[in-house]
Amino acid sequence: MNVISLSDMTVFYGPVRGVSGVSLTVGEGEIVALIGAIGAGRSTVLKAISGLVKPREGELVFRGDDLRRIAPATRVRRGLVQVPEGRRIFPSLTVRENLELAGFGVGGGRAQRRERLQAVLERFPLLGDHLPRLAGMLSGGEQQVLAIARGMMAEPKLLMVDEPSLGLAPQMVESVYDLLVQIASEGTAVLLVEQNVTLAFEITNRAYVLQQGEVVLSGPSSELADDPRVVAAYLGRAAASPAAGS
């Protein structure tokens, strides 16, 4: 079943076009990449789904329901969660407080919130060791893990992650990616915006390529990784000379 499905979605910021005619789907347990250059419209797609911007046109369907009829303020509670670019954790609060605050956002009683925190800590043992620390004192990679863990407090049906690898050391990127793969394997749909295209193709089932607000290519990641247009534009090497790549 598709968790999210967009058809012909167009978003404007005043007179500026964010994206136009975007169609995409993410199914249960699927992990899908949204790639493109800076300004291509990747964040706009995520913001339209989470309700931070309102599409001008198009159909948005979330688990069979018209998404536009679900108020943005209640979307997190329904399981639509965006981990924003730049992590946006609260640096002067502790790791525990960051997680607890995320739990408040999704409602439920105290017992339920404690249960959710317990479940999240089991999944993210690294954070368990840091609960009393100020979030701002964590490394960049740990902060990204915390940001994803905050998202998981909402028990998302769709987890959208915007550029999680930005500024992280390579081995930390790998841990973050392992987490996303694990989250998807447990049934959550994951929509990943990533500028590291090579990495994104390795862990995703399918990908969409955005260019100037439009989807120009889409398909299985393994096929796109060999597509000469993708190779030339995003993988920084000529299609005919893979040895020259990075």
Residue 73, both tokens: 């303020």
> Among residues 44 and 144, whose Cβ is nearest to ligand ADP?
44
The residues pairing with 81 across neighbouring beta strands, listed in sequence order, are 159
Chosen from Mg ion, ligand ADP, none, partner binding at 82 (C-beta under 5 to 8 Å by type): none
Min dist. Cβ of residue 41 to ligand ADP (A): 4
Which partner in ligand ADP, Mg ion, none is near 41 (CB below 5 to 8 A by kind)? ligand ADP
Q: How far is the CB of 44 from ligand ADP (least distance, A)?
A: 3
Residue 16 CB partners (closer than 8 Å, separation 6+):
none
Q: Which is nearer to ligand ADP, 153 or 193 (CB)?
A: 193
The residue among 58, 75, 106 whose CA lies nearest residue 215 is 58
d(CA 103, CA 149): 10
Residue closer to Mg ion (CB basis): 26 or 153 = 26
Mark the segment that binds Mg ion (CB under 5 A) among 14-22, 29-37, 40-48, 120-128.
Answer: 40-48
By beta-carbon proximity to Mg ion, the closer residue of 43 and 50 is 43
Single-letter residue type at 136: G
Q: How far apart (Å, rounded) are the C-alpha atoms in residues 39 and 234?
A: 14
Radius of gyration of the chain (CA): 18
Q: Which is nearer to ligand ADP, 53 or 159 (CB)?
A: 53
- Candidate ranges 21-29, 35-43, 87-95, 122-130; the one touching Mg ion (CB under 5 A): 35-43
Residues that bind ligand ADP (CB under 6 A): 13, 16, 18, 36, 38-44
* Beta pairing, strands 214-220 & 2-13: unpaired
Q: Give yes or no for residue 98 binding Mg ion (CB under 5 A).
A: no
Query: What does 44 interact with, of ligand ADP, Mg ion, none (CB < 5 to 8 A by kind)?
Result: ligand ADP
Distance CA 30, CA 185 (A): 8
> To the nearest whole angstrom, how small is the minimum distance from the Cβ of residue 197 to ligand ADP?
13
Among 43, 143, 165, 196, binds Mg ion (CB under 5 A): 43
Of the pair 43, 143, the CB lying nearest Mg ion is at 43
The amino acid present at 154, given as its one-letter code, is: A
Please say which residue, 43 or 204, places its beta carbon nearer to Mg ion: 43
Binding interface with Mg ion (CB under 5 A): 43
